[in-house]
Chains A and B, each alone.
Chain A
Amino acid sequence: MSNQLEALGLHKAFGTIRAVDGVDLRVPAGQVVGFLGPNGAGKSTTMKLITGFLEPDAGSVRICGDDMLQAPLAAKRHIGYLPEGAPAYPDMTAQEYLSFLAEIRDLAGSVRKQALERVFDLVHLGGVAHQRIETLSKGFKRRVGVAAALLHDPPVLILDEPTDGLDPNQKHEVRNLIRELGAEKTIVLSTHILEEVEAVCGRAIIINRGKVVFDGTPAEMDAKAPATVASNRLDWVFRTLTTTELQTQEIPS
């Protein structure tokens, strides 16, 4: 199967800090990738490189065959992106905000109307459509961001912490939604919640200090923990791979 998302040899430095240091990522359609890593590991930066917000110092990004550096507009059309913190214009209502995005994405007339209805339905925003975004609760704001990413029904979704700040019910809903969409779309989502990876992702990638330190299924990740670890096995693997002290102390050579 061809890869809808192909990022090869990504490098990005801020001053002397190598935020992303040689990340390769190939994701076919119908795969949900959980992007894990401690804060500051380079998750968000990698997503910014993939979505074309930042330009890599080296490496390339191809989305559905379109190169992000050569044909940025074509490549950006294939992506739905939820940036970190789900930013939106606080003085607009959810309806106005999403209409603006629909317009800028060239959805017109009845297509726009349908697209708006569809996303309002998908993330259950109907009740607050005419409320200003600044008056919405954190959970609703996040859902406006998710709606914005889904609006044009893109084949590739990049979601930076889509469930952050949601209550357990909302988390459950968003996870179901992601699982549903993941059947045909390419989804990369970052998260700090390891059960989420087990729940929705077919593949987990752990990144530490800008480098990929694990790439495999959640089951393979689980298998890396020794049998003596009875609970929180993914946590154990995550900590082992991303903290150097633990590496020297606990991993048997």
Chain B
Amino acid sequence: MKAVSTIFRREFASYFNTPLAAVFLVIFLFLCGIFTFQLGGFFERGQADLRPFFNFHPWLYLFLVPAVAMRLWAEERRLGTIELLMTLPVTMRDLVLGKFLAAWAFLAVALAMTFPLWMTVAYLGDPDNGVIVTSYLGSLLMAGAFLAIGSALSALTKNQVIAFVLCVVACFGFLFSGFPVVLDFFRGWMPDFLAEAIASLSFLGHFEAMSKGVVDLRDVLYFTLVMGVFLYINALVLDWKKAA
């Protein structure tokens, strides 16, 4: 685990070594504000909660998480540093985990910086803090699931634009898998139970439950499982496409 923490710290610091962190954080917070106050009608609703804020997280993540994920492995490939990493005495598992956790922690920082919104509702009224905590937890888990998918796809290519586009499409699929736009694609030729299984994979459904204040172990498990599966795929892809 020591190697994981070494890789984690290097990777995490690299966000702040470049303008990436500043640009990302500003845009993230700016969009959060617009969504919450303009589109979400935060004041007009007259309710002391953060639903208008959390409701937009899936959409925000759809584009912002791939922006973080696309560089994870594609950049290592382009720089050639992937060769360096993989000839160090560390396991593939440590590499994948270290880099993923750093990116996730970075997203957690972005999420944590939205705390003034919480202070605002607490000042204006008497919000249900339990709901807000579970919503934050759900949002963080969802971000992690998006990120794991993006990390695996980023390992496929040295081109960050390709990684970004693939990642947005894949995240879109997972986000909307419970909706006709994705489901109709499978319905015609797939047995019903499989289509239902795909529908139950929807991020939205699992996130919605948590943002209502219900921490169902199944939802937590679902996001954790998505992360685990995609990080495993990530390692397989790296092994398979080392030379590319």
Contacts and interface: CB of A to CB of B under 8 A. Distances in A.
A89 B14 contact: yes
Contact of B6 (A52, A104, A148): A104
Nearest to B78: A87
B83 A148 contact: no
Given A14-B243, A91-B17, A92-B14, A73 B89 contact: yes
Interface stretch (A76-84, A161-169, A181-189, A233-241): A76-84
Contact of B80 (A14, A72, A84, A105): A84
A87 B83 contact: yes
A148 B84 contact: yes
Which of B3, B88, B91, B243 has the most A CB atoms < 10 Å from its CB? B88
Give the secondary structure class of B's interface: helix
Nearest to A45: B243
Interface residues of A, number: 30
Nearest to B83: A83
Given A54-B242, A91-B14, A100-B10, A83 B88 contact: no
Interface residues of B, number: 22
Nearest to A148: B84
A53 B6 contact: no
Given A76-B87, A101-B88, A89 B79 contact: yes
A195 interface: no
Contacts of B3: 104
A79 B10 CA distance: 22
Contacts of A88: 79, 81, 84
Nearest to A90: B79
Contact of B87 (A79, A85, A106): A79
A83 B84 contact: yes
Which of B3, B83, B242 has the most A CB atoms < 10 Å from its CB? B83
A210 to B, nearest CB: 15
Interface in B72-106: 79-81, 83-84, 86-91
Contacts of B10: 89, 92, 100
Contacts, number: 64
Contact of A87 (B18, B81, B89, B91): B81
Contacts of A87: 79-81, 83-84
Interface in B1-32: 2-3, 6-7, 10, 13-14, 17-18
B88 A76 contact: yes
A71 to B, nearest CB: 10
A103 interface: yes
B189 to A, nearest CB: 33
B243 A54 contact: yes
A48 interface: yes
Interface string A55-85: 0000000000000000011101101010111
Contact of B88 (A74, A91, A105): A105
Shortest 10 CB-CB distances between A and B: which pairs? Answer: A87-B80, A91-B17, A76-B89, A83-B83, A51-B87, A73-B89, A77-B89, A87-B81, A100-B10, A103-B6
Interface of B: 2-3, 6-7, 10, 13-14, 17-18, 79-81, 83-84, 86-91, 242-243
Given A54-B242, A104-B89, A104-B90, 16 more contacts: A51-B87, A52-B87, A53-B86, A74-B89, A76-B87, A76-B88, A76-B89, A88-B79, A89-B10, A91-B18, A92-B10, A92-B17, A100-B10, A103-B6, A104-B3, A105-B89
20 contacts: A14-B243, A72-B89, A76-B87, A76-B89, A83-B80, A83-B83, A83-B87, A84-B80, A85-B80, A87-B80, A87-B83, A87-B84, A88-B79, A89-B81, A91-B17, A92-B14, A92-B17, A100-B6, A100-B10, A104-B6
